[in-house]
Structure 1
């Protein structure tokens, strides 16, 4: 065996990484991108938006301002655009376009202008007691009985179906002997003449709870 063949080749020396090495640069970029993604994810999870919340129930058609609502900070995520941010305020001359229930967040569709409403609140006095649990937002059928020629009333006829109650209050006499319920029902424009005619002609008005309506 020759001397040359018996000598081992020297082990290759490791080179110090250079910043010009594309593999090193790629690794640094991947680390930075991963870190930025984690920071963005954590930041978005903690991001909240101040929006309006209904402090007390507000009937349809009621003019509103920012003073009529509470301010809450919530995480809305993808639906953020559906709600009114406090920073933008309440539009001028805005009214409630539906019954706004206590505790609900105020969405953009909850507000409108008075001339855009397709239902109008009409006051009714109801002498017969309503079922327990009837409240603003409940649906009722409205019946009327016109006066007859014998100081009585004709056969009652249904004139509204599934009308929504926007307000409700109980009136009592001083002695508590006479008790009546005052309600505001939301009536579509096409049904207004029938109801107003019944009221102006002394009809006896009765309402029947209709929980299945509007469901």
Structure 2
């Protein structure tokens, strides 16, 4: 029996567009490119949103000069913030404090008539703790004036009120310094605090680390 002679020089066929393997490979490449484009497009989908240039206190009228524009990606929470596209309505005041560089929530702005807290100044002689800053919660204690130069036992008057602003001043001669703390007080709380001030009570402000509100 004669051995089979190997076929030499087998010619390979050039793949055609009808070759299923070529079509599958092309589809995979197109799918990969489309996925990359979709990911890049999603990552670059940012929104121009307003942020506070400086601290915005409760009751302060908010104007464009108080804000700056930042590009951020908000996705589903975008409706909760003031965007450049939606614009800033005139005459709006801050219903809640907005810290420096923070985005401006829509809920933090409204009409002045909607304010349910008003800033009242309290002069304190003692040094405030470092944690007592605008936005922090403090307890206001009062000691009513007793007989002579004595004061009654201190009583908690306002628990967990929010600090609006802090101002440091000095006496007319510059010999002593005092700190004026503006706290946000509701209309229901107002008579108690104003009454204590009118009767020259000793008022102290104590930082409330738990942030407990009235």
Q: The TM-score by the shorter chain falls in which range?
A: 0.7 to 0.9
SS in 2 for 1:190: coil
**Larger displacement relative to structure 2 (87-96 or 40-49):** 40-49
Q: Distance in 2 between matches of 1:79 and 1:113?
A: 23
More helix by share: 1
* 2:53 matches 1:55: yes
Per-residue deviation, 1:39: 3.7
Is 1:170 matched with 2:191?
Answer: no
Which residue of structure 1 aligns with residue 154 of structure 2? 156
Residue ranges of structure 1 left out of the alignment (5+ in a row)? 1-15, 19-27
How far 1:34 sits from its partner (Å)? 7.7
Distance in 1 between residues matched to 2:17 and 2:146, nearest whole Å = 105
Query: How far does the alpha carbon of each residue in 1:42-94 deviate from its partner, in whole angstroms, 9 at most, with x for none?
Result: 32221111111111111111111122111111111221121111122212211
**TM-score scaled to structure 2, two decimals?**
0.79
Among 126, 129, 138, the residue aligned to 1:128: 126
Q: Which residue number in structure 2 is paired with residue 202 of structure 1?
A: 200
Aligned partner of 1:64 among 49, 62, 65: 62
Rounded Cα–Cα distance in structure 1 between residues aligned with 2:173 and 2:196: 30
Partner Cα separation in structure 2 for residue 76 and residue 138 of structure 1: 27
1:149 deviates by 3.4
Tell me how many residue pairs correspond in the alignment.
201
The structural deviation recorded for 1:137 is: 1.4
CA distance, structure 2, for counterparts of residue 78 and residue 43 of structure 1: 16
Q: What is residue 21 of structure 1 aligned with on the other side?
A: none
Moved over 4 A (4+): 28-38
